[in-house]
Each structure stands twice: as structure tokens, then as C-alpha cells.
């Protein structure tokens, strides 16, 4: 023992040297990334309270948290309008009788139609009937069907609102009415498709016809149809057939028979 070492220090040193040390074992290799993780498990930022000194913080109509003792509103209860419960004292609101929104309601201008009113409808237009209509009539009929579909959809929403979970009467009649309206719209599309194909075929035929000028300015006085003259021939046959079709060449005169009339009688 060194001469300058205190007896207490020497005893502590002997205890540390004589005490067996605990063997340290390292964790398995697949657990090393877990020990090396320094970031928190959650990727979200830590929630910290906002200190913006807002007195209305925490006021919510959904959570029924009202105003505090020191909070005041700019509107007083005495200044709020009061509902008029007496029908005689209510003011009459002027409504335009020809307003476009009336098209979403029945003709009687009620909320919903009765099943009898919904069932009073005709059949759908057929393709044969629509083929005789011009473009303007088909356009007007199409938008009449669109408005009828919107009216039926509005009535359906109101019926579900009033009927609740169990529904309300009139679903079957409204479904039949919608089916007739959709049938008319389907036939209109079919007729317009037919006309488009007919126009496309006529355009292709006009492009191949030399007597038709599709690019002529008809409004400017140009002619779209240019018929050829009578003497012009568009067909050109082969060289062997030119002599046969040449109008300038005449047929050879018939050969006179040398047989006499008496021989013909005898035969």
C-alpha cells in the first residue's frame, strides 16, 4: 500500500478488486435497430396547447359549450326578430306565377303528388312517331322529359322525408312514370343517331360525286349541284370497246340477200 493512501481508500480499492465483475452480454442482432431508435414511436407531432389568448376558444355548438362569464356577444336578445305566430298578421309574399321553379312541382303546386295524380300519364313516344319530328321539336321534347324527371325526383325526396324510415305511398306509380319518360328519351336518342348516320352516308356520297360541291357557298350564290352536260361522258372504256361505243361510227348497211322470192316460196 502506498504511504500516502488513507486506510478507507485502500479498503474500498480492495473491495472493488476482489468483487467479481458481472459479465455483460450484447442483445441479438435483430434487436439492435430497436435499441438504436432515437425518434418516438408515433410520427405525429406532440400536441401542445395553443396560447393565443382567445376568449372564444372552446366555444362549440356541437359540444354544447356555451359562453363563459366574461364573454359578451355583439347581439342582444332584445334585438333579435320575433316570429309572427298569428297567420292574420303575417305579410303576404308576392310570388311570380310564371316562375321557372314551379316546374319542379305538380300542376296543382302541392308538395307531392298523390298516387292517382302520378298514375295519370300516357305512354312513351315511339321511334316511328319521332321520325316525323324536326330538330326543334325533338329538342323541346327532350327538355320536357328532363324537367319531368327532375320533378319526379323532387317529389321522391319529399316523400322520403315525410315518410321517414318506413317510406310513403306512391313509389310504384312514380317508378312507372319515370319508366315512360326514360323510354321517350331513349327513342329520341335512337332517332338522332339514325339521322346522324344518314347525314354521314350522304356526306361521303357527296364527296365522291363530281356533280356535288360540298364546299360551295350557297348563301353567296354558289351552286352546290353542278350537273354535267348531255354530251359529256364520264365513263372511259377500253381501246377495244371505243369503236363500239363511238357515236360517230355508223353500223354497216345490211347485206342484200341473193335468194329470189320464188326460191323462198318453194322452201
**Of 49-53, 75-79, 81-85, 233-237, where does the model show the most confidence?**
81-85
Do the beta carbons of residue 250 and residue 260 sit within 8 Å?
no
**Of 31-35, 68-72, 98-102, 235-239, where does the model show the most confidence?**
98-102
Query: What is the model's pLDDT at position 139?
Result: 96
**The pLDDT of residue 234 is above 60:** no
**The pLDDT of residue 255 is above 70:** no
**In angstroms, rounded to a whole number, what is the distance separating the alpha carbons of residues 42 and 35?**
16
Under 8 Å CB-to-CB from 181, ≥6 apart: which residues? Answer: 124, 145, 148, 149, 152
**Of 118-122, 164-168, 226-230, where does the model show the most confidence?**
118-122
**In angstroms, rounded to a whole number, what is the distance separating the alpha carbons of residues 119 and 153?**
15
User: Predicted confidence band at 215 (pLDDT cuts at 50, 70, 90)?
Assistant: confident
pLDDT in tens, 8-47: 555 655 565 555 555 556 767 776 666 665 555 566 666 6
**In angstroms, rounded to a whole number, what is the distance separating the alpha carbons of residues 91 and 159?**
29
Instruction: Say which residue, 185 or 215, is predicted with more confidence.
Output: 185
Around Cβ 123, how many Cβ atoms within 10 Å?
8
Query: What is the model's pLDDT at position 178?
Result: 93
Name the average pLDDT for the chain. Answer: 75
pLDDT in tens, 65-88: 666 667 676 777 777 888 888 888
Mean of pLDDT values over 200-228: 85
Query: What is the model's pLDDT at position 131?
Result: 94
Amino acid at each position: 500500500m502506498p504511504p500516502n493512501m488513507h486506510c478507507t481508500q485502500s479498503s474500498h480499492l480492495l473491495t472493488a478488486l476482489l468483487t467479481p465483475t458481472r459479465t455483460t452480454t450484447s442483445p441479438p442482432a435483430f434487436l439492435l435497430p430497436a435499441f438504436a431508435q432515437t425518434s418516438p414511436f408515433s410520427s405525429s407531432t406532440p400536441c401542445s396547447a395553443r396560447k393565443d389568448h382567445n376568449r372564444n376558444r372552446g366555444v362549440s355548438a356541437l359540444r354544447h359549450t356555451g359562453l363563459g362569464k366574461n364573454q359578451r356577444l355583439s347581439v342582444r336578445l332584445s334585438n333579435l326578430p320575433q316570429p309572427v305566430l298569428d297567420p292574420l298578421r303575417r305579410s303576404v309574399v308576392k310570388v311570380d306565377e310564371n316562375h321557372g321553379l314551379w316546374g319542379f312541382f305538380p300542376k296543382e303546386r302541392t308538395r307531392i303528388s298523390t298516387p292517382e295524380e302520378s298514375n295519370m300519364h300516357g305512354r312513351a313516344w315511339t321511334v316511328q312517331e319521332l321520325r316525323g319530328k324536326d330538330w326543334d321539336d325533338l329538342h323541346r321534347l327532350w327538355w320536357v322529359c328532363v324537367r319531368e324527371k327532375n320533378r319526379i325526383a323532387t317529389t321522391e325526396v319529399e316523400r322520403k322525408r315525410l315518410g321517414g324510415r318506413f317510406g310513403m305511398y306512391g313509389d310504384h306509380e312514380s317508378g312507372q312514370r319515370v319508366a315512360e319518360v326514360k323510354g321517350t328519351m331513349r327513342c329520341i336518342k335512337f332517332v338522332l343517331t339514325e339521322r346522324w348516320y344518314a347525314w354521314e352516308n350522304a356526306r361521303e356520297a357527296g364527296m365522291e360525286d363530281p356533280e356535288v360541291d360540298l364546299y360551295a357557298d350557297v348563301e353567296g350564290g354558289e351552286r352546290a349541284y353542278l350537273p354535267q352536260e348531255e354530251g359529256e361522258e364520264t365513263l372511259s372504256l377500253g381501246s377495244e370497246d371505243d369503236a363500239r361505243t363511238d357515236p360517230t361510227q355508223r353500223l354497216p348497211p345490211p347485206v342484200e340477200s341473193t335468194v329470189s322470192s320464188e326460191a323462198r316460196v318453194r322452201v
